[in-house]
Structure formats: structure tokens, C-alpha cells
């Protein structure tokens, strides 16, 4: 649980945030998430039965988010579907101002 506390404390230092099925998303409230204006790409594999949907439900409270679901991928979705991961990440990064 490292990236979320950093995001909440130092979001002014970040151009974007790309969580990949992060843990401990339930430790923060919808109101806390709503305060963060950092563009976010939420990434998870549709076969991630442990954290994918839980993380998504919590992170959807970030107002500037997009979602990338990698089909037939598990928790380490970027390893299961590297080409799709890189295409989605690149498209997200290219749209940043």
C-alpha cells in the first residue's frame, strides 16, 4: 500500500496515476477519492477474482479516471497481456495535456 498514500499526500506532484489492481483501496473513502484530480488509468484483468472488481469499485470515485480492462488476464494483467497493456498505457499517456 504505497502508491495510494503517496497520491493522497502529493497528488500535486503527479502528472498521472496508473494503478494496476492495487491493494488496500478500501482503506480510503469515496470522499477522499473525489478530492483527487490527477488523471488516472485504472487497469485490471477480467480474470482477477481477488482485487480487480474491488479496486475498480473504489477507484471509480476518482473523478478523472479511465478504465482499461484486459480480457483473459489475471491479477498480473500486464504480464498476461503485455501488448494490450502497452497499447492502453500509451493511448492514455498520449492524451495527457
- Residues 16 and 81: their CA atoms lie apart, in Å, by 22
**Using 50, 70 and 90 to split pLDDT, how confident is the model at 48?**
confident
**Using 50, 70 and 90 to split pLDDT, how confident is the model at 34?**
very high
For the stretch 53-88, pLDDT in tens is 788 899 999 999 999 999 999 888 999 999 999 999
pLDDT value at 52 more than 90:
no
Amino acid at each position: 500500500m504505497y502508491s495510494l498514500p503517496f497520491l493522497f499526500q502529493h497528488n500535486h506532484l503527479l502528472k498521472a496515476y496508473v494503478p494496476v489492481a492495487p491493494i488496500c483501496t478500501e482503506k480510503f473513502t469515496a470522499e477522499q477519492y473525489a478530492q483527487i484530480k490527477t488523471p488516472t488509468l485504472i487497469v485490471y484483468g477480467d480474470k482477477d477474482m481477488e482485487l480487480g472488481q474491488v479496486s475498480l469499485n473504489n477507484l471509480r470515485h476518482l473523478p478523472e479516471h479511465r478504465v482499461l480492462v484486459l480480457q483473459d488476464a489475471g491479477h498480473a494483467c500486464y504480464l498476461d497481456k503485455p501488448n494490450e497493456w502497452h497499447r492502453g498505457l500509451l493511448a492514455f499517456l498520449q492524451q495527457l495535456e
